[in-house]
């Protein structure tokens, strides 16, 4: 067990805590239906399941209302991005009295015991405000996709802990404090929203979750991975793995996040860090097999340019 891992007790779930779940849909009603059904089968009862249809304009909202009659479906007339769409659902969950808000992607599936195990960590660790399970790939469920996120303030580099390793090697019943976690599946105390507000809508897509976790840490609330809880994630279902916009948002928002949550006081270091972040994204673009190299590099350049211009929100 490493220094970041702590053993946790296993009290009975506190059913006095009201849990509200938010699932974001964007033109993936079949995936969303499966995600919601996995929540409805949770051993820990969820008071409110809220689906936000994020301006799909393809009949998704009506389909979900007809096939999930016990679920509230909020339909946004426009695509608010991941952060904006989640915020719409978070505000509704809090309005309904949620003490804990579960955020979940439409392409994720949560096993019945996962929520209860995540809640146990929050009940026994008052300094923890955000918890997440270990993310496993639905294509290769024995492999870890993310066991939390590590972020370097100095270089701006971030990476998913444990990526590609065997989940069987993870020590069970341990809580690991991390810099951040993916909002693919994330359980958040109400107090976090009270202290720092909601997801930053400037990001629109990507890096808003790490930004959120780092802001929570600055406010005194840690993020933890619950190593004996898992979720299965497919990934890239809404925007698509071959979309140049992925690289655009990744570059622009990586630079934005580093500037906002990790300002460097030493003259010149911020510029060096920005150059390093740009080089990381360019290297990824050069190695990508999902799109042409010129197209990928153009997306990186556009993301960097829009960051310089402070043009955020929805992209090209």
316 pLDDT band, cuts 50/70/90, is: confident
- Residue 80: what pLDDT? 97
Provide mean pLDDT across the span 18-28: 97
10 pLDDT band, cuts 50/70/90, is: very low
CA distances from 81 to 15, 106, 315 (A): 32, 14, 10
pLDDT tens figures, 132-166: 999 999 889 999 999 999 999 999 999 999 999 99
pLDDT tens figures, 213-260: 999 999 999 999 999 999 999 865 556 556 789 999 999 999 999 999
Residue 107: pLDDT over 90 = yes
Residue 2: pLDDT over 80 = no
CA distance 267 to 159: 26
Q: Which residues contact 290 (CB under 8 A, 6 or more apart)?
A: 241, 242
CATH number belonging to the domain at 5-233, selected among 3.40.50.720, 3.90.550.60, 1.20.140.10, 3.40.50.300: 3.90.550.60
DSSP 35: H
Q: Which residues contact 14 (CB under 8 A, 6 or more apart)?
A: 119, 123
pLDDT tens figures, 175-204: 999 999 999 999 999 999 999 999 999 999
**Residue linked to tokens 């991390």:** 178
**Residue linked to tokens 């409110």:** 48
Largest CA distance in the chain: 58
Q: What is the mean pLDDT of the chain?
A: 92
**Residue linked to tokens 């805590």:** 17
- For the chain, give every domain's residue range: 5-233, 244-308
Residue 1: pLDDT over 50 = no
- Residue 11: what pLDDT? 44
Beta bridge partners of residue 232, listed in sequence order: 109, 136
Residue 5: pLDDT over 80 = no
Instruction: Find the DSSP H helices in the chain.
Output: 29-40, 60-67, 81-95, 114-124, 190-196, 208-218, 244-261, 269-287, 293-308
């Amino acid at each position: 067990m490493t220094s970041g891992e702590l053993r946790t007790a296993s009290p009975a779930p506190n059913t006095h805590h009201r849990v509200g779940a938010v699932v974001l849909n964007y033109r993936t009603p079949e995936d969303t239906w499966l995600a919601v059904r996995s929540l409805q089968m949770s051993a820990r009862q969820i008071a409110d399941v809220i689906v936000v249809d994020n301006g799909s304009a393809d009949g998704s909202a009506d389909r979900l209302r007809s096939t999930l009659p016990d679920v509230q479906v909020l339909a946004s007339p426009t695509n608010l991005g991941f952060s904006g769409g989640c915020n719409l659902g978070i505000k509704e969950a809090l309005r309904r009295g949620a003490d804990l808000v579960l955020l979940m992607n439409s392409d994720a599936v949560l096993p019945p015991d996962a929520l209860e195990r995540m809640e146990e960590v929050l009940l026994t660790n008052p300094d923890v405000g955000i918890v997440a399970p270990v993310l496993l790939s639905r294509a290769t469920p024995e492999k870890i996709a993310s066991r939390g996120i590590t972020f370097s303030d100095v270089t701006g580099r971030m990476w998913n802990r444990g990526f590609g390793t065997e989940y069987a090697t993870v020590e069970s019943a341990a809580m690991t404090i991390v810099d951040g976690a993916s909002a693919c599946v994330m359980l958040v105390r109400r107090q976090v929203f009270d202290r720092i507000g909601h997801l930053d809508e400037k990001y629109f897509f990507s890096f808003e979750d790490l930004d959120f976790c780092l802001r929570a840490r600055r406010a005194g609330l840690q993020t933890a991975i619950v190593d004996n809880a898992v979720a299965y994630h497919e990934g890239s279902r809404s925007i698509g793995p071959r979309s140049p916009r992925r690289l655009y948002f990744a570059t622009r928002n990586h630079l934005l996040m580093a500037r906002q949550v990790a300002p460097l006081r030493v003259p010149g270091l911020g510029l060096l860090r920005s150059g390093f972040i740009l080089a990381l994204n360019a290297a990824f673009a050069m190695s990508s097999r999902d799109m042409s190299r010129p197209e990928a590099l153009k997306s990186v350049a556009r993301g960097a340019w829009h960051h310089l211009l402070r043009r955020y929100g929805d992209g090209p």
